Amino acid sequence: MAKATIVLVHGAFEHSGRYSHLLERLRHDGYDVISEDLPGQGVTAGRKGHIRSFDDYLHKLMKWMDQADPNKPMFLLGHSMGGLVVIRTLQKFKPHVSGVILSSPALGILNGATKPLEIISMFLNVFWPTFQVDSPLKPEMVTTNPEVIKRDKEDSLMLEKVSVRWYIEFQKAIKIAFKEVEEFPNVPLLVMQAGEDLMVDRGKTNEWFHQIESIEKIYKEWPGYYHEILNELEWEQAYLYMMKFLNQQLNG
């Protein structure tokens, strides 16, 4: 019998299938896991790489949480943009959870659009919101694991383009996550940040973390790890650290 439920929220440009090794390990270690694809990504229906509003993600996460056994503790695990989805869901809806784990949360983007492109994006967001631009993601930027890099290059479910609306909503959600930082509930929090992150600004992760008023919070940076801590060659080290956090919550 599972001791708790973990709801896993994947990041931008990717899909839940990239974490099959993690799901398998979590289930082996006694956890129920709920992990599906976010709207516009993976095997979901509709236009790929596009959302109407960032709240589309929040509502989807709330539906996933409804699938969990109400008699068991529930934890949220969000990676990158999935971490931002978790943050905004907790700020807006304040669902009851036993703890939160954020993996390299997207609270600041490196190598974002230039100022002229930002202005063009705002114009297109009004008149042509579905217009798509190339994704900045390259497999070599998120992990040093050669097997994952090779797999990602052959993965047809990885997004190569996203809409202007998606980009604007993403940036807006980051700003709100900081603006409404006091709305983040007092829940046990573990933030695991890649030390060699080429995708998100780890300084912004640290800044947001220190504004959170959770009584129990841990910030752990992993030197030498690229963005996807749980897809790195030494991902099990981060996994075992995460397990200690989960066990601590379950054992009171």
Residues with a catalytic annotation lie at 80, 197, 227
Cα separation of 172 and 144, whole Å?
30
Q: Is 201 exposed, middle or buried (0-12, 13-18, 19+ CB in 10 A)?
A: middle
Amino acid 211 reads Q
- On whether the CB atoms of residues 31 and 6 are closer than 8 A, the answer is yes
The alpha carbon of residue 27 and the mean position of all alpha carbons in its chain are separated, in whole angstroms, by 20
